[in-house]
Amino acid sequence: MIDTHCHLDATRFDLDRGAVLERAWAAGLHGIVIPGVGPHDWEPLLELSRNDARLQVGLGIHPQLLPEMPPEEDEAVLEHLDALLSKGGSAAVGECGLDGPSLPGAPLERQVHVLRRHLALARKHGLPVLMHCHRLHPALIDLFKQEELPEAGVLMHSYSGGVELARFYLQKGCHFSFAGPVTWAEARKPLDALRAIPLERLMAETDAPDQAPTPHRGERSEPGYLPRIIEGMARVRGEPVDVVAQQTTENARRLFREAFPPPSR
């Protein structure tokens, strides 16, 4: 299994990161994608990946981080991102996207501009995009109608939209990753979408340390909980757990350009 979105560098893992990883490998994982959210974590993440090939990273600017960055520095930071991507070592661009309806210091116009640049970098470097979208799907759809999407693909991270939105993103060639909420009792809209999305477009993630699945809801999530999420996805779709686990893993390997070698037999 591959956890396609896990913030393993979060401070909540500082005290026991090694033990968290040991539990993840023991649970059957053989790959974790760690999305960078801002320039402060790009170099440390690349170093983490160099030390363990099972850890792959994305490099990007999360929209929630924009208020912490002076707007006049956007271009310089994006040029730095371009330079790092040119050196290799990153399996994706992102986490990037839109977060709304609006953040102080990050108006929609700025968010869209920065996201356009991420998409251009993904096209330039032949990398997939880890896409965040919260309460701004209409704006993202407008952008997707105008913008050529990266040939390497777009992964809609922790998808929480409904079926109609999913149909649009499917037409655009997007993939979808689901997290802990698929196991929550009150989940409705994303589960309808999960049933409608073809299995070959699906992946799984923990979004750790957030969105822990049942029965760990409310606690810190960790990558070792990924089997719970895959079990939840299989239950919703009415498919065998091993089929969903195998296909989502193959999908992740393909999207991340074989960054994760198959486990040795």
Domain that includes residue 139, residue range:
2-255
Cross-strand bridge partners of residue 167: none
Q: Is residue 198 part of a domain?
A: yes
C-alpha closest to that of 122 among 257, 260, 258, 5: 257
Q: Is residue 264 part of a domain?
A: no
Q: What does the pLDDT average to over 119-143? A: 97
Q: Is residue 262 part of a domain?
A: no
Within the chain, how many helices (H) and strands (E) appear?
Answer: 9, 8
pLDDT tens, residue by residue, 205-259: 999 999 999 999 999 999 999 999 999 999 999 999 999 999 999 999 999 987 8
Predicted local distance difference test score (pLDDT) of residue 104: 84
Q: Is residue 220 part of a domain?
A: yes
C-alpha closest to that of 65 among 93, 99, 42, 92: 99
Q: What is the CATH number of the domain that holds 189?
A: 3.20.20.140
pLDDT band of 121, cuts 50, 70, 90: very high
How far is Cα 55 from Cα 259, in angstroms, rounded to an integer? 9
Predicted local distance difference test score (pLDDT) of residue 234: 98
Contact between 37 and 10 (Cβ < 8 Å): no
Counting the structural domains of the chain, the total is 1
